[in-house]
């Protein structure tokens, strides 16, 4: 039973199906349980959280990664699978502590003040959730003081800042300065991303890392999380 349902979870992550309404890739899947329904069923049946995560979610994302490498999958497929894993992790979160499982880390993410563009930030959020991070999305056009307050309250491991405009990217620097003024700068790793910014800019404003795209952002965070250098 446990094996069957974990296999089903794995298959549905690979198909990128969050709920029974999702199409997936193969035909005729609409109406069959998706990852959300399967996780609930697994938990109700007493399947171990670590089994679900390790043999179901992590194993399936390995397959998805291979398919992406082989150009069988494209970024929308990766995102769909990551979204399915993110939905699963949300359901599993209340059970993780009692199972002795810790999330990889906690991340706050925001598009800075004055900027309404959030596609990149949303993609990074989905990918981070799919990789096993707890993500709190603060939204877009977020006031600097609100970001500072959220860092103080949530105590995240990472803060992701996004901007698309040359006129708003300066608010990344303002945010970092405000965190420093509030004694919070050394309590959180900061990575930035967005079309107008660069590795050099990240360095110049005192960020810890720069993500050129969603996948690069994940690898930078993973490197920071393991204590490795993020130098590219």
Distance CA 112, CA 123 (A): 16
| DSSP secondary structure letter of residue 155 | -
176-215: which residues touch other proteins (CB under 8 A)? none
Q: In the stretch 124-163, what mask flags binding to other proteins with x, by CB under 8 A?
A: -xx----------x--------------------------
Distances (CA, A) of 28 to 15, 20, 112: 12, 11, 42
Q: Does 79 bind other proteins (CB under 8 A)?
A: yes
Task: Give yes or no for residue 76 binding other proteins (CB under 8 A).
Answer: yes
CB-nearer residue toward other proteins: 22 or 157:
22
Strands 189-193, 158-162: pairing kind? parallel
Put the strands of the sheet holding 158-162 in their side by side order: 134-142, 106-112, 158-162, 189-193, 209-211
Quickly count: other Cβ atoms within 10 Å of residue 182's Cβ: 14
- Contacts with other proteins by CB under 8 A: the residue count is 17
Among 77, 90, 141, 149, binds other proteins (CB under 8 A): 77
Stretch of 100-108, 123-131, 147-155, 187-195 lying at the interface with other proteins (CB under 8 A): 123-131
Distance, in Å, from the CA atom of 112 to the CA atom of 115, rounded to the nearest integer, reads: 6
Q: Among the candidate windows 17-25, 92-100, 179-187, 214-222, which touches other proteins by CB under 8 A?
A: 17-25
| Residue among 77 and 173 whose Cβ is closer to other proteins | 77
């Amino acid at each position: 039973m446990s094996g069957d349902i974990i296999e089903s979870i794995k298959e549905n992550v690979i198909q990128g199906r969050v709920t029974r309404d999702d199409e997936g890739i193969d035909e005729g899947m609409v109406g069959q349980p998706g990852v959300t329904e399967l996780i609930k069923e697994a938990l109700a049946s007493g399947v171990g959280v670590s089994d679900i995560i390790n043999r179901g979610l992590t194993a399936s994302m390995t397959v998805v990664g291979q398919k992406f490498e082989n150009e069988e999958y494209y970024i929308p497929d990766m995102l769909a699978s990551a979204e399915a894993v993110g939905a699963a992790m949300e359901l599993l979160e209340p059970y993780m502590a009692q199972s002795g499982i810790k999330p990889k880390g906690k991340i706050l993410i925001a598009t800075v003040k004055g900027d309404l563009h959030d596609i990149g930030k949303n993609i990074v959020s989905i990918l981070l959730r799919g990789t096993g991070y707890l993500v709190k999305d603060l939204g877009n056009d977020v006031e600097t003081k609100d970001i500072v307050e959220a860092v103080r309250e949530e105590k995240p491991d990472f803060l992701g800042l996004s901007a698309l405009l040359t006129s708003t990217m300066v608010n990344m620097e303002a945010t970092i300065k405000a965190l420093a003024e509030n004694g919070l700068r050394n309590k959180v790793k900061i990575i930035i991303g967005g079309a107008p910014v660069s590795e050099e800019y990240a360095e110049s404003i005192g960020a810890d890392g720069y993500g050129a795209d969603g996948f690069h952002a994940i690898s930078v965070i993973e490197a920071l999380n393991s204590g490795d250098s993020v130098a590219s």
